Amino acid sequence: MYEDVGLLTSNAVITEDVAKLFNHLSGMSQETNYRRLLVAPHSIRTGLISSIHREIANHQAGLSSGIRIKVNSIVDEAIIDALYRASQAGVRVDLWVRGICAVRPGVPDLSENIRVRSILGRFLEHSRLYWFANAGSPQVGIGSADLMHRNLDRRVETIVGLTHPAHIAQIEHFFDLAFAPGTASWWLNSTGWNQHTLDSDGEPLMDLQDHLITQMGQRRAVER
C-alpha cells in the first residue's frame, strides 16, 4: 500500500521463466536464458545497459526517449557510466534512490540531464522499478535488484517485464508523483543533498506514502 509492488500472474511465458529459474537454483539445470526475466548474476547488468543504450539511439534518431529508475542504492560503475553517456547524449534520466547514490547529477558536460530524488517516510520501501521510454512503447520492469555489485554479481535477483497497460500506467504514476514539485523529497545536486519538504509558505509538502495509502484505500472502497 505504501508503493511496494509485486506481480501475481498466470502468464505462461513468465511462469515458464520462473520454473527455469527454480530448476537452475535447485541444480537440475544450467538454464540462463529467459524471455521475460532478467536474472542476476547473468543478465541484469547487461540487460539494463542494453536498454540504456537503446534510449540513446532512440534520442539520436529523434524518437521518444527517457529513463526512470527507482532503487534503494546505485553504486555499480558500469551502469552509472552508461547513465552518464545517456545524459551526455541528451536523454532525460530520473533516479529515485532511497539511500546510497554514487551518481552526481548536474555536472556540466556529464550529468546535466540527470535528476536524483530521495523519498523518506514512515515505511521502509523496497520496490525497484525500471522504466524506459522505448520510442513511445514503454519497457517497464519491477524486481528485487539494487544496482550494486552484491546484487548484480553475487546474488540471484530478478526483474520481470510488465506488458499490461494498467500496470505500466501505475508505475508511470508513481514516478510522476515522486518527481512532482509538490512532493516532499530530498534533491541531490552536484554538491550534495538538499531538503525539499516545505512549500514557499512553510507548509509541509505532500507525503507520498500517506498519499498512496489514502489513494489505494479509496480504490478498494470503490471496488467493493
Give the separation between CA 149 and CA 45, rounded to whole angstroms.
10
pLDDT digits (tens, 9 = 90+) for 118-127: 999 888 888 9
pTM, rounded to two decimals: 0.93
Q: Residue 162's beta-bridge partner residues?
A: 140
Label residue 3 by pLDDT band (50, 70, 90): low
Q: Is there a domain that residue 162 lies in?
A: yes
Q: Is there a domain that residue 182 lies in?
A: yes
Q: What b-and-e string marks burial along 169-207, b requiring 16 or more CB atoms within 10 Å of the CB?
A: eebeebbebbbeeebbbbbbeeeeeeebeeeeeeeeeeb
Q: Is there a domain that residue 4 lies in?
A: no
Q: Is there a domain that residue 25 lies in?
A: yes
Please report where in the chains the cell 537454483 appears, as a residue: 25
Label residue 80 by pLDDT band (50, 70, 90): very high
Mean pLDDT of the chain: 94
Q: Is there a domain that residue 207 lies in?
A: yes
Which CATH number goes with the domain that contains 175? Answer: 3.30.870.10
Q: Is there a domain that residue 5 lies in?
A: no
Q: Is there a domain that residue 6 lies in?
A: no
Query: Which residue range forms the structural domain that includes residue 122?
Result: 12-223
pLDDT digits (tens, 9 = 90+) for 206-223: 999 999 989 888 876 777
**pLDDT number for residue 28:** 78
pLDDT digits (tens, 9 = 90+) for 34-45: 999 999 999 999
* DSSP codes of every residue in the chain: --S--------HHHHHHHHHHHHHHHTS------SSEEEETTSHHHHHHHHHHHHHHHHHTT----EEEEES-B--HHHHHHHHHHHHHT--EEEEESS-B---TT-TTTSTTEEEEE---SS----EEEEE-GGGS-EEEEES--BSHHHHHSS-EEEEEE--HHHHHHHHHHHHHHTSTTB-EEEEETTEEEEE-B-TTSPBPB-HHHHHHHHHHHHHHHH-
**pLDDT number for residue 104:** 97
The backbone torsions φ and ψ at residue 128, rounded to the nearest 5 degrees and listed phi first, read: -120, 125
The number of distinct structural domains making up the chain is 1
pLDDT digits (tens, 9 = 90+) for 37-67: 999 999 999 999 999 999 999 999 999 999 9
